[in-house]
Amino acid sequence: MTNVNNSLINHLEINVFPRYFNASRWFAGKARSQKDFRVQHTLTFGEFLILIVEVSYHDGPSELYQLPFTEVSLDMDIPEKGVIEKTETSQWIDAIYDVQFRKELFANIFNATTLSSASDPSSFLASIKGKGLSDSDTPENIESHVLPVDSSNSAMLFGGKYFLKLYRKLFGQTNPEVEMVSFLTQHSDFKNIPAYAGSLTWQRTGQPDITLGMMQQAIRADKDNWMLTGDFLNDFMYGVPNGMFGIKEWVFEQVTLLGKRTGEMHLGLFAPGADDAFAPEVFDDTYRAFLLHRLTDLLDRRYALLIDNYQKLDEPTQRLAWIFMEARELIDDFAKEMLTRPLDSLRIRIHGDYHLGQVLTQDGDFIIIDFEGEPEATIAERKIKHSPFKDVAGMIRSYHYAVSAKLFESHETRDISSEKLQIVSDRWYKLMRETYFEAYLEAFGWPHPLFNSQHEINFLLLFFLLEKAVYELGYEISYRPSWVKIPLRGIVEVIREIEKLKEPSVRISRLANPS
């Protein structure tokens, strides 16, 4: 077993971890003012250790990180990013780069092993085996390697068949991705995800379990759906400079298939009689107030941000911004309907961060990935049950981004006026939106408990489309000013749909020309 003592731990905390963590892609605290690094728990994992390191900051809450840890000889070839520190006689490394550690990981999941901690009898490392792990893939015969992917987690591939994601930043409860993927694999007929093969969990008496890693069947994807949609648009875009508007039938077939698969995913998550974590719930007063508060808070911050940056926008974008700002009362009235409107539709666990990049293409079909939820939300917020239209709105907005980015940023369309491009992109986007949404609803049949009526469908979809576009606006103002028009266009579209629900006397279409 790797031998560590208090002196080594103190040395790592003070002299090594500040440098090593800040050089690691998976460390999320680089931009924060760091106070100190402390090893809070040392978990025994066979001949290895898993260090649970708490990083505290001068402002804001501390964070927990997982660091597999071992000592190896100097002649072992370890990637530079895996070397924590070298001494005269050995090197301390991130243990994922040790093949024996990876074998230990796989063997524990394969055998569903529970390990007790030598230093804490109330602490356990529990491995769970899922349906996606074949009994024929025994640990003795499996090969593995670390994938060269720099992201917020670490990834390993076993036997070319199983993908293991090791979560670096830890949260005080089970990761929602593990719950979602295991539920869909173990309790539904939905097959268009990488099947759940197992997980590693840190269990402590009287405290919530913390997910350390999850293994799924590996996917040999051709590309993600953002790239596929880019291919659609490349074909479409060649006709635009020549005044041709043409979309191949195959494009509609693919968008229809994605709508169908999205509906099937939500049908798999619709689980009356299941445990409380997945049982459908109603739109109660607490949830309605939560939705309204979140949207109102977003609106307040985005209006302030837009006012501060208004003069930096080009004239067409300023016109869109003006419509949005002048429609504040209309938007507020619409948002407040969430508190009073009769809603008999139900809400369920959803993907939570659903867009074209989260869907892979494989053998002519689609595989949905990455169920961790909205990146900026807390783990508790990611587990809140929502209308599935929140996912639908995310995908629809993703289509809008795809066409807008392609047409406005491409070399082929540089000589076409922005007004003309806006007309063309709107037309393409609306066709994709209608095709996707119709296929989505058809996957459920009618009526269905999740969607009580067409009136509720219209209201909920508009609500989540507005929330998503307003959320996007903040990012674009801060990081991509030339793209601010994309979410603003989405907001204006929702405003016009809201207007249709009102009496003509309160419509605000005149605001397009505020002068």
pLDDT band at residue 272 under the 50/70/90 scheme: confident
Instruction: Name which residue leads in pLDDT, 364 or 462.
Output: 462
Look at residue 417 in the predicted model and tell me its pLDDT: 77
Q: Is the pLDDT of residue 400 over 50?
A: yes
Look at residue 437 in the predicted model and tell me its pLDDT: 97
pTM value is: 0.89
Q: Is 492 exposed, middle or buried (0-12, 13-18, 19+ CB in 10 A)?
A: buried
CA dist 511 → 115, 296, 321, 339, 506 (Å): 66, 22, 11, 28, 12
Radius of gyration of the chain (CA): 25
CA dist 446 → 49, 253, 391, 442 (Å): 54, 22, 20, 8
Q: Are strands 34-45 and 48-57 parallel, antiparallel or unpaired?
A: antiparallel
- What single DSSP character describes residue 172? S
Average pLDDT over residues 328-356: 96
Among the ranges given (211-220, 359-368, 389-398, 409-418), the one the predictor scored with the smallest mean pLDDT? 409-418
